[in-house]
Amino acid sequence: MNTPAAPAVQHDRILVLDFGSQVTQLIARRLREAGVYCEIWPYTASEARIRAFAPKGIILSGGPASVTEGESPRAPQAVFEMGLPILGICYGQQTLAHQLGGTVESGHAREFGRAFIDVTGECAITQGVWAKGGREQVWMSHGDRITQLPPGFRVVAASEGAPFALIADDARHFYGTMFHPEVVHTPHGAALLANFARLAGCQGDWTMKAFRAEAIARIRAQVGGGKVICGLSGGVDSSVAAVLLHEAIGDQLTCIYVDHGLMRHGESEQVVATFRDRFNIKLVHRDASELFLGQLSGVTDPEVKRKTIGRLFIEVFEEEQAKLGGADFLAQGTLYPDVIESVSATGGPSVTIKSHHNVGGLPAHMRMQLVEPLRELFKDEVRVLGRELGMPEEIVGRHPFPGPGLAIRIPGEVTREKADLLRQVDRIYLEEIRNAGLYDAIWQAFAVLLPVRSVGVMGDGRTYESACALRAVTSTDGMTADVYPYDMAFLTRVASRIVNEVRGVNRVTYDITSKPPGTIEWE
């Protein structure tokens, strides 16, 4: 099992140099959907590092700066001399034009949102996608514009507001778009990006099947005969990481599941059944609910709750790993969005809205090397990998669940009784969502137990019991979220089941706050 791995196949790759656009990650998503491996690096990457990465093509992303400002970012000049195809998007187009001898000016009409452009020519990236003479919808977001093309370039598509909407230098394979091909509001944008990748020579053979085989080889090469421990949270990322690791190194892996007693109904049992019984993974299930609930007694401040849970989690995890006699490696389900080196547009520190507690936050003194087999993947790719590994849909397709669990869905003091009550409400709510076939259309749905009691009437009697709130949102990354628009019949059905079946709850409300200004969780 521990034979050294053959070096992983090097797939064709595209490098995305990031100038800080909000949508840079979508460039990577679109390329990967086309089977092309790519990475996002800050525009400050050195020439040596870029050459070592050996990309087949380079994309310069959009960004918030203005090329006309003296201090604004530039692509490393060397990228234009590597003989590689280059695509500049929005700010990337402007810096490309500026750096190659064109002129960019500010002060023109700003254009944001949906726009239509006329396709006046053809080039390699429009082939089979846009026909000459056509009119195409694109997503614009720009203030500055090119006023004089650099030598060698010509216009392929234009509009009155964007005379250089798409430009091409066929000889060098340099392209620039004033619009964002990576967003869905540019309907054929993904095909334009795929064309760029193909013309750069990318085969489109980066599939999850290939990733799985390579990841296993890499894990074996890194771990050798060492012992690995992995913290399981019941969530998608750590679960997929565990199954992948197990496939690579079998019994050298032990998973530790710290059960804080704040999981949803039936989830702890499911974690144990899935990993221990179905996948045969060595699993330590530590029921630490007494400890967590004891220390949370009297705590009402949301941040103190989070910090208490984070601290206890580490204590218990350390205890359990010491019992195992330590390990050489700690495995984590870190994802690509967590490791992308960010280009801070403003340079200012951002405000901490909530301190996130994750399995990742283990202290340095644990001195184990990290194994992070998912660090190249986006969340939806992790789900695809999970399916590829034969994992059950209930785990792979599961909604995100916060590390501190139900504690942050019980405003005020958390007690075992309240957690039990919330679990009942939450179970009914999720059951109804599944029965209605809505689970996969929703990013996250859960119930919140409110610290309020209200008067009700049941039969002939007066009740004075707890109120709960239901929440359901759609989102792509949890950064922003919209309220899920249930129909009233669904909501009233759920409310009636909850009030009838859960003793202690007599009122149900639906949270209709989007994010921002609300957050998804209540604390």
Residues found near ligand XMP in the complex (CB under 6 A): 354, 356-358, 400, 402-404, 444, 478, 515, 519-521
DSSP string, 437-485: T-GGG-SEEEEEEEEEEEEEEETTEEEEEEEEEEEEEE-SSSSSBEE--
Q: Helix/strand/coil (H, E, C) string of 273-322?
A: HHHHHHCCCEEEEEECHHHHHHHHCCCCCHHHHHHHHHHHHHHHHHHHHH
Helix axes 289-296, 302-323, angle to 10 degrees: 150
The CA distance from 425 to 501, in Å, is 9
Q: Produce one character per residue of 155-166: b if its CB has 16 or more CB atoms within 10 Å, e if not.
A: bbbbbebbbbbb
Q: Report the run of H or E that residue 211 belongs to, with start and end.
A: helix 208-223
The CA distance from 439 to 427, in Å, is 13
Q: Produce one character per residue of 13-26: b if its CB has 16 or more CB atoms within 10 Å, e if not.
A: bbbbbbbbbebbbb
- The minimum distance between CB 402 and ligand XMP, in angstroms, equals 3
Kindly name the residue from 11, 38, 90, 255 that is annotated as catalytic.
90
Tokens at residue 391, please?
């994992």
Largest CA distance in the chain: 86
The CA distance from 210 to 247, in Å, is 15
Kindly name the residue from 11, 142, 173, 180 that is annotated as catalytic.
180
CB closer to ligand XMP, 60 vs 430 = 430
The CA distance from 313 to 357, in Å, is 9
Kindly name the residue from 38, 123, 142, 182 that is annotated as catalytic.
182
Q: Which of 105, 177, 176 is nearest to 141 (CA)?
A: 177
- The minimum distance between CB 388 and ligand XMP, in angstroms, equals 24
Q: Is 39 a catalytic residue?
A: no
* Cβ atoms of 283 and 289 closer than 8 Å: no
Phi, psi (deg, nearest 5) at residue 316 = -65, -40
Strands 57-60 and 37-42 come out as: unpaired
CB closer to ligand XMP, 62 vs 234 = 234
Query: How many residues are recorded in the chain?
Result: 523
- Burial degree of 286 (CB within 10 A; 0-12, 13-18, 19+): middle
Q: Report the run of H or E that residue 338 belongs to, with start and end.
A: helix 336-339
Q: How many CB atoms lie within 10 A of CB 473?
A: 22
Tokens at residue 301, please?
């401040």
**Who contacts 153 (Cβ-Cβ below 8 Å, separation ≥6)?**
97, 100, 102, 167, 168, 169, 174, 176
Rounded to a whole number of angstroms, the CA Rg of the chain reads 26
Strands 111-119 and 135-142 come out as: antiparallel
Q: Is 123 a catalytic residue?
A: no
Q: How many CB atoms lie within 10 A of CB 504?
A: 16
- The minimum distance between CB 335 and ligand XMP, in angstroms, equals 11
CB closer to ligand XMP, 60 vs 299 = 299
Active site positions, annotated: 90, 180, 182
